[in-house]
Homo-oligomer: A and B are copies of this chain.
Amino acid sequence: MIPLTLSSPSLTRLVLFTSRYSHSPFLRNFSSLPLINRKLLYKPPFGVRCHASSSNSSSFTAKSSKEIRKAQTKVVVDEKLTSIRRLFSDPGVGIDAYVIPSQDAHQSEFIAECYARRAYLSGFTGSAGTAIVTKDKAALWTDGRYFLQAEKQLNSSWSLMRAGNPGVPTASEWVADVLAPGGRVGIDPFLFSADAAEELKEVIAKKNHQLVYLYNVNLVDEIWKDSRPKPPSKQIRIHDLKYAGVDVASKLLTLRNQIMDAGASAIVISMLDEIAWVLNLRGSDVPHSPVMYAYLIVEVDQAHLFIDSSKVTAEVKDHLKNAGIELRPYDSILQEIDSLAARGAQLLMDPSSLNVAIISTYKSACERYSRNSESEERAKPKFTDSSSGYIANPSGIYMQSPISWAKAIKNDAELQGMKNSHLRDAAALAHFWAWLEEEVHKNANLTEVDVADRLLEFRSLQDGFMDTSFDTISGSGANGAIIHYKPEPESCSRVDPKKLFLLDSGAQYVDGTTDITRTVHFSEPSTREKECFTRVLQGHIALDQAVFPEGTPGFVLDGFARSSLWKIGLDYRHGTGHGVGAALNVHEGPQSISFRYGNMNPLQNGMIVSNEPGYYEDHAFGIRIENLLHVRDAETPNRFGGVTYLGFEKLTFFPIQAKMVDVSLLSDTEIDWLNSYHAEVWEKVSPLLEGSSTQQWLWNNTRPLAKP
């Protein structure tokens, strides 16, 4: 899956679609742009079938702007807006505008339906968007992927703000401009990271507006009422130590050392994958990510998990008890934060991921208790114990979460699970592609959604299969050029035997997470398609083969994957690689390989990244070739500077369609790469297909190319 929508904490300040082309020559520093921009997944009802049709009736077909204008002149009385505005003047609210982001309280990429507030209020179901409602205006920001969809889904009460287009203000700038001076801008403080809230606050403060945290009420929930879905309550499970590699006690020991090293007495963790990783637990509260809604507070001598206890089985309760972790209600997090401040706990918090409700509660509690202790003639706080980080006047330690690093650097068991699950995934894919090619050659009437569904069936036959790791991107012809295309049953296209077909998909297995893209042609690709594919492949090979000194941030390698496309004036508007969790989120930080040059986090031995250059020709075709790679010591004959040099080892073993390759463009080294990769694919995957007709398909697709 492509890394454009990476929601790792380290990327929160970067804007989607901020292209490299916008650098001012007088720019001194990296842009840090204040757009609130997190993913939201709106889960459409399952089970609806796609209406198969041979016409290309994509949901993204553009209307003429005249039609759109005509549609928008119909004055719609939007009852949701009327209701929410009525709440603005309620006692205890008192605001002039309300900002509704896509997020849940944990900055999750995929969220539960009950938290899809922006989608409910605005009707726009795309994964990224921010809505703002004032007393007389309503506006929604989204990026280029979703302009057409938003035009269709928003009624005329809403203005669509095309983020990234020239002259379009950011959400923060807009609200600062439209309010009369002294305006009060309300937010649900659980839905903003402390960093995002701070940015919003700064921008609106310039126009003398105030940011108001509404702790006790979410205005969208108020009007959503009974039709709001219930919060998820599925039971959580233990992630087996044979896959986790390190037990909870050891992880907590390391974490507690890091807490003490940082001069803190406790850490507050809200990222759901970090909690799942530390506790060796997995959940199913959201689609695609095996996590559960919770907060975790680890102190030096105790730890509390804030979670709906109905999700916790007896077995999990024992598991937690053995690790010294007590349960608390999910909703009691702020109470606990207050009580920690009272006890003088110095909290380690990551302001890029932790919501401002928590951080702000802590800060004001610290101030309050500090004033109290002064008024009590500087009486010692109740639990002051400087050796374990409890101090008289704590104020918090703000830094990147140490767990994001610990989680990103996989241990041997996690790597083994990733390798094993990738081979089973390859076996499922082989069955699927053998089936698909046969069907298409029989001229079967298959839609993009049919294909995605069938792929899911093949995968679910594999041991340990749990879920898809994201919505399958199944795009025929021009749909392949829509970078985050999500085929919908009502509107998707037929898989056209005469066009390129791009399939980006992945799975969650009990032992690992996969993510692979292949692009194929079912008949004869054009010269143009072959040239573009071959250059994408050259970029893929260049990154795969890169060796680099430890400490190198991923962006240094991004150009390697583009260089071959650049030579003929082509490029792609997304990053080249994202981190991947081990039986966890398909997108994780802190590393990335991207032209967003702000992410200085170096690639390290044990990390996993995707390698997915692409090329997209609007209204024609899309190409992407994606493998997952494991960062590892390169064992170079020299070690200049006394440092380790790193390289990549492939996790993904699946054929790259040979007919798409223009061999005349490849160097001998590149041909050798492809041939030896295919030899390895055959060697590793064919034993899993023994006795099946699919083995012949794999054999056919792993034959070496001749050098010209």
The 6 sampled A-B contact pairs (Cβ below 8 Å) are: A21-B549, A28-B600, A30-B600, A568-B636, A571-B640, A571-B641
Extra A-B contacts (19), CB below 8 Å, given A20-B552, A21-B643, A557-B559 = A21-B641, A23-B551, A23-B600, A23-B601, A25-B604, A26-B400, A27-B601, A28-B400, A29-B598, A546-B563, A547-B563, A548-B566, A556-B558, A568-B636, A568-B638, A569-B645, A571-B640, A571-B641, A668-B668
Q: Which 4 A-B pairs have the closest CB atoms?
A: A569-B636, A569-B638, A21-B551, A569-B645
- Whether A227 is near chain B, meaning CB under 8 Å from some CB there, is no
Residues on B with C-beta less than 8 A from A640 are 565, 569-571
Give the shortest distance, in Å, between A403 (CB) and chain B (any CB). Answer: 12
- Which chain B residue lies CB-closest to A670? B667
CB of A490 within 8 Å of the partner chain: no
Q: Which chain B residue has the least Cβ–Cβ distance from A636?
A: B569
Contacts of A598 in B (CB 8 A): 29
A381 at the interface (CB under 8 A from B): no
Instruction: Type the 1/0 row for A166-205, where 1 means its CB is closer than 8 Å to any CB of B.
Output: 0000000000000000000000000000000000000000
A559 (CB) vs chain B CBs: closest residue: B556
A565 to chain B: which residues have CB within 8 Å?
Answer: 640
With both beta carbons as reference points, the residue of chain B lying nearest to A258 in the complex is identified as B26
Write the nearest CB–CB distance from A674 to chain B, whole angstroms.
16
Within the assembled complex, what's the spacing in Å between the Cα atoms of A598 and B597?
9
CB–CB B569/A634 < 8 A: yes
Copies of this chain in the oligomer: 2
**Closest Cβ neighbor of A591 among chain B residues:** B25
Q: Which residue of B lies closest to A26 (CB)?
A: B400
Using known A-B contacts A10-B28, A637-B569, determine if residue A21 contacts B600 with beta carbons closer than 8 Å. no
A240 to chain B, nearest CB (A): 28
For chain A, residues 373 to 412, give those with C-beta under 8 angstroms from any C-beta of chain B.
399-400, 402, 405
Q: How far, in whole Å, are A551 and B595 apart by their CA atoms in the complex?
A: 11
Chain B residue at minimum C-beta to C-beta distance from A557: B559
Question: A662 to chain B: which residues have CB within 8 Å?
Answer: none
Q: Is the CB of B600 within 8 A of A568?
A: no
Which residue in chain B gives the minimum CB-CB distance to A548? Answer: B566
Judged by a CB distance under 8 angstroms, whether A602 is at the interface is: yes
Q: What residue in chain B is nearest A542 (Cβ atoms)?
A: B563
* A639 at interface, CB cutoff 8 A: yes
Q: Are A567 and B547 in contact (CB-based, < 8 A)?
A: yes
* A571 interface neighbour in B27, B29, B549, Cβ under 8 Å: B549
Chain B CB within 8 A of A692 CB: no
Residue of B nearest to A556 (CB): B559
Determine if A703 is an interface residue (Cβ-Cβ < 8 Å).
no
Contact check: which of B548, B551, B559, B667 meets A22 at CB < 8 Å? Answer: B551
> Which of these, B553, B558, B645, contacts A23 with CB under 8 Å?
B553
**A645-B566 CB under 8 A given contacts A25-B405, A668-B667:** yes
Closest partner residue, chain B, to A409 (CB atom)? B25
> Taking the complex as formed, is A560 at the interface, i.e. its CB lies under 8 A from any CB of chain B?
yes
B23 pairs with A570, CB closer than 8 A: no
Q: Is A573 at the interface (CB under 8 A from chain B)?
A: yes
In the assembled complex, the Cα of A2 lies from the Cα of B26 at a distance in Å of 25
**Docked pose: A560 CA to B562 CA in angstroms:** 11
Any B CB within 8 A of the CB of A19:
yes
A216 located at the interface, meaning its Cβ lies under 8 Å from any Cβ of chain B in the complex: no
Given the known interface contacts A560-B559, A597-B553, the answer about A638 and B570 at a Cβ–Cβ threshold of 8 Å is yes
Q: Find chain B residues with CB under 8 A from A570 CB.
A: 638, 640
- Contact between chains at B20 and A551 (CB < 8 Å): yes
Q: A658 to chain B: closest CB distance in Å?
A: 22
Chain B residue at minimum C-beta to C-beta distance from A405 = B25
Q: Give A565's nearest chain B residue, CB to CB.
A: B640
Known: A25-B604, A571-B641. A547 touches B560 (CB 8 A): no
Q: Is A336 at the interface (CB under 8 A from chain B)?
A: no
What is the CB-to-nearest-CB distance from A642 to chain B, in angstroms, rounded to a whole number? 9
State A553–B20 Cα separation when bound (angstroms).
9
